[in-house]
Amino acid sequence: MMATTHALIGVLLGSASLFVAPELAPVAVFAGLAGGVFPDFDLYSGHRKTLHFPVYYSIAATAALAGAMLVPNPWTFALGFFLFAAAAHSVSDAFGGGLELKPWLGQSERAVYSHFHGQWIPPRRWIRYDGAPEDFALGVALAVPSLVLYDGTIQTLVVLAVMISGVYALLRKPLVNIAEWLVGRIPSHMLAYVPDRFVGDFVQ
């Protein structure tokens, strides 16, 4: 799934706070958005492993949310919903495509790494690849409730996320060709700085 889809899931998860403490919803929504995006900061170093913890985030989120219900304040809500969204991101990566340059080919058996199990979880491919039409459609569906619930900054961010998703979905396959062209022109001593999945597919 696209990072923006994860962000929109995070916003929606943060919105659950409206049922318990509406005054803390803005904190929860921003924390959900941040937590939804956070795991993908490992894109260039051990992607879907270094910052992806499907089991541990889930355990931590359960504890943190329980704590937030007992002691509701901006800090406990921020932590709880950040971890909740990061857990949802890590788990939902298993429902997408595999870790490969052209995930629509369906050749990788690595979706997300479970540190708890000590192994890679295989992709279910419900969303075939990040930027797939169904990924964009999911993002739009996720955005609708948030657009109804919020105005101002949150609404703007949600609209922005949908627009970025649309552009990314349109460019998803052409982008790989551009990457292919670029990597073919990188001097060999610089290839150490290029993520393995690019180098592996193009150079070896």
Residues that bind Zn ion (CB under 5 A): 39-40, 93
CB 10, CB 60: distance < 8 Å:
no
Give whichever of 65 and 88 is closer to Zn ion, judged by the CB atom: 88
Give whichever of 42 and 180 is closer to Zn ion, judged by the CB atom: 42
Q: What burial class does residue 148 get, using C-beta atoms within 10 Å of its C-beta: 0-12 exposed, 13-18 middle, 19+ buried? A: exposed
CA 31 to chain CA mean position, Å: 14
Name the residue whose CB lies closest to Zn ion.
93
Q: How far is the CB of 59 from Zn ion (least distance, A)?
A: 18
Give whichever of 40 and 135 is closer to Zn ion, judged by the CB atom: 40
Torsion, Cα 119 200 185 191, to 10 degrees, reads: 60
Q: How far is the CB of 93 from Zn ion (least distance, A)?
A: 4
Q: Which residues fall within 8 angstroms of residue 75, CB to CB, at 6 or more apart? A: none
Q: How far is the CB of 52 from Zn ion (least distance, A)?
A: 6
Give whichever of 93 and 135 is closer to Zn ion, judged by the CB atom: 93
